[in-house]
């Protein structure tokens, strides 16, 4: 906690003095938080039943709800022609400098989810907005429980967790969830590599897991080194034009590393990357 406060104080002092704080400095901040963050506290227990509000009309052709919980808002979206009996679940965790409500609208997440054409319930929970902010959902099971308490019926299929940037802090706490089948890191390999190693290779359920890592400039070196440790990893030096252009091995591999030419923010705002990587999952296509 002291270390995290120190990082935050240094950051705000730099801003107050008018000092430039570039991507390299921000990367150091992310790495510092990853290395010094204390053992996570439990998610705040729900003192009242979470409230569920449904958006009027259709959102990207599907149905959208917003849940108010003690751990912040959770957006829920299901696509048209959704079939719960065969559906899975996608949990998307946003990065720093934005909260979940703004990420939902500005990044047009519902539109990107629909473009992926996956038969899934999509959850977008609140996540840290800076290195000084707490992880809101240390437990994937607690997040799912909260959604159920709000009156939503969850699908029984595989769960896919996606993190952009600082969202890796949240995902690193979920890797031991028995229903989590795949992790997708979008320019997010800033730290917690032991947790992701356990998920894909050394953990007790690792043989059932898959991982996709997409990297821009910030995490390219660390991501590639992580992937190259595993002989079964497939490496792509650029983002494929479409899912169909992937080779059979690239589609089936446990670990796929992709070096993207999109910038850090454009990876989740361009509408090109997120729908593509969601195709690289065991979810059924609509």
Task: Indicate whether 135 belongs to any domain.
Answer: yes
CATH of the domain at 110: 3.40.50.1820
* C-alpha separations of 22 from 14, 19, 218, 261, 267 in Å: 11, 9, 11, 19, 18
For residue 43, give every residue at least 6 positions away whose Cβ sits within 8 Å of its Cβ, in sequence order, or none.
Answer: 71, 136, 137, 138, 139, 142, 143
Q: Which two tokens stand for residue 92?
A: 């998307």
Which tokens in the block code for residue 31? Answer: 């790495």
Quote the number of domains for the chain.
1
Asked, for residue 204, whether it belongs to a domain, the answer is: yes
In a domain, 32, yes or no: no
In a domain, 10, yes or no: no
**Beta pairing class for 210-215 and 180-186:** parallel
| CA–CA dist 122, 92 (Å, integer) | 7
The verdict on residue 35 lying in a domain is no
pTM reported for the whole predicted model:
0.84
DSSP string computed for 164-218: EGGGHHHHTTTTT-TTEEEEEEES--SS-HHHHHIIIIISTTGGG-EEEEEE-TT
Range of the domain at 273: 50-279
Residue 148 lies in a domain: yes
Which tokens is 232 given?
């079964």
- Structural domain contains residue 91: yes
Query: Would you say residue 168 lies in a domain?
Result: yes
Per-residue pLDDT of the chain (286 residues; tens, 9 = 90+): 444 444 444 444 444 444 444 444 444 455 545 544 544 455 655 556 788 888 877 899 999 999 999 999 999 999 999 999 999 999 999 999 999 999 999 999 999 999 999 999 999 999 999 999 999 999 999 999 999 999 999 999 999 999 999 999 999 999 999 889 999 999 999 988 999 999 999 898 899 999 999 999 889 999 999 999 999 999 999 999 999 999 999 999 999 999 999 999 999 999 999 999 999 999 999 9
Q: Residues near 31 by Cβ (< 8 Å), separated by ≥ 6?
A: 190, 191
């Amino acid at each position: 906690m002291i270390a995290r406060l120190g990082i935050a104080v240094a950051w705000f002092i730099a801003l107050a003095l008018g000092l430039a704080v570039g991507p390299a400095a921000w990367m150091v901040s992310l790495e510092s938080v990853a290395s010094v963050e204390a053992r996570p506290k439990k998610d705040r227990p729900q003192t009242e039943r979470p409230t569920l509000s449904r958006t009027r009309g259709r959102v990207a052709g599907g149905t959208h709800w917003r849940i108010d919980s003690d751990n912040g808002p959770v957006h829920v979206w299901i696509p048209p022609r959704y079939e719960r009996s065969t559906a899975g679940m996608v949990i998307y965790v946003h990065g720093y400098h934005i909260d979940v409500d703004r990420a939902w609208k500005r990044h047009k997440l519902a539109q990107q989810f629909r473009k992926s054409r996956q038969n899934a319930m999509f959850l977008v929970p609140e996540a840290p907005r800076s290195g000084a902010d707490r992880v809101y959902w240390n437990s994937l099971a607690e997040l799912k429980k909260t959604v159920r308490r709000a009156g939503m019926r969850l699908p029984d299929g595989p769960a896919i967790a996606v993190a952009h940037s600082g969202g890796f802090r949240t995902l690193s706490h979920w890797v031991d969830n028995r229903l989590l089948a795949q992790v997708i890191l979008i320019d997010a390999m800033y730290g917690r590599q032991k947790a992701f190693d356990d998920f894909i290779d050394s953990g007790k359920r690792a043989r059932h897991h898959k991982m996709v890592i997409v990297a821009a400039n910030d995490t390219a070196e660390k991501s590639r080194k992580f992937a190259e440790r595993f002989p079964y990893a497939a490496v792509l030096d650029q983002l494929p034009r479409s899912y169909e252009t992937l080779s059979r091995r690239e589609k089936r591999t446990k670990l796929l590393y992709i070096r993207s030419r999109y910038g850090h923010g454009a990876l989740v705002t361009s509408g090109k990357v997120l729908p593509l990587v969601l195709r690289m999952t065991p979810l059924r296509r609509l």
